């Protein structure tokens, strides 16, 4: 019960952070491309019961929904190249409204 509450609080903080940073250019980082999918897999493993055939059907439906939302979220991506003070190439992205909606 305590773990579930902790993970829900973490989820709320992550959603607020992602919505606020969706409309400005931010560096492409490990946080957005690794930690959030790993967090989602942990939450799936905790909340799914994995005992019946209906659970596997639910998993398949959720996977299809996730793919559709992922495609929607990437429609508004814009990238730009920028150079740091040390002349290192940095890629930045802006996600926009489709990302927030998905």
pLDDT in tens, 49-96: 778 888 888 888 988 998 898 888 888 888 898 888 888 888 888 888
Once rounded to an integer, what is the mean pLDDT over residues 23-47? 79
Q: How far apart are CA 18 and CA 32, in angstroms?
A: 9
Strand, helix or coil for residue 55: helix
Any alpha helices (H) in the chain, and if so which ranges? 2-20, 30, 36-47, 53-73, 97-101
Q: How far apart are CA 9 and CA 26, in angstroms?
A: 24
Q: How far apart are CA 100 and CA 84, in angstroms?
A: 28
Once rounded to an integer, what is the mean pLDDT over residues 26-30? 79
The CA-based diameter of the chain, rounded to the nearest angstrom, is 56
Question: What's the pTM value of the predicted model, to 2 decimals?
Answer: 0.65
């Amino acid at each position: 019960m305590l773990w579930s509450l902790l993970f829900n609080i973490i989820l709320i903080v992550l959603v607020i952070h992602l919505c606020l940073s969706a409309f400005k250019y931010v560096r492409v980082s490990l946080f957005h491309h690794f930690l959030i999918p790993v967090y989602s897999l942990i939450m799936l493993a905790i909340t799914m019961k994995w005992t019946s055939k209906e659970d596997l059907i639910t998993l398949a439906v959720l996977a299809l929904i996730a793919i559709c939302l992922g495609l929607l979220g990437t429609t508004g991506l814009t990238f730009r190249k920028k150079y740091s003070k040390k002349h290192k190439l940095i890629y930045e992205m802006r996600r926009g409204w489709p990302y927030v909606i998905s």
